[in-house]
Amino acid sequence: MQELSLVSQISLYVLMALIGVYTLLVGVVQVMVLKGKAMKNPDGSSDDWHEQKTHYGIAFADLVLACPVSIVGIVLVFFAPRWGYYLLALVSFWFVWANTMTTATSLRFEKPNINLNWFLVFPFGIFVGLTYLVWTFIHFDTIYCM
């Protein structure tokens, strides 16, 4: 990580903080979904796995894959940077894919009132994931060819 400029290191820390906070929020919400609590979304839909089995599957995948990989990736950036960068790139791809799917579903089927709350629940994960992937692309030679 010493090969990165100060601005690049600061942007990496900000991105890791965003990924960490987003991971914690996703983890808390998905635990509630797995416990059977129906979650009202800001677009008027509801994440109730009794009615929509896909929400149970997404919650399970988030808790078993995305959340642990995200946390391990953040920790590994400090101890084994290359592995940490790989894992954060994988989880960022997951954030982009999963949140694109939920955002598109929300727009297509629920016709939401698009406000800040809706943005934070649905497309914010896309923003976080894409930002890290762009950061990775910009710094590819430095982080993977060291």
Domain-embedded: residue 117: yes
46 inside domain: yes
pLDDT of residue 117: 77
Domain span at residue 65 reads: 6-144
1 found inside a domain: no
Is residue 12 one of the residues assigned to a domain? yes
Residue 86 lies inside a defined structural domain of this protein: yes
| Overall number of domains in the chain | 1
85-122 pLDDT, tens per residue? 999 999 999 999 988 988 887 787 777 778 887 788 78
Measured on CA atoms in the order 27, 102, 22, 129, is the torsion positive or negative? positive
Is 116 buried (19+), middle (13-18) or exposed (0-12) by CB count in 10 A?
A: exposed
How high is the pLDDT of residue 145? 83
| pLDDT grade for 75, boundaries at 50, 70 and 90 | very high
CA angle 71, 77, 81 (to 5 degrees): 140
Residue 51 confidence (pLDDT) above 70: no
Inside any domain, residue 52: yes
Kindly state the average pLDDT of the residues 48-71.
Answer: 82
Name the one residue in this structure whose structure tokens are 């994988």.
Answer: 90
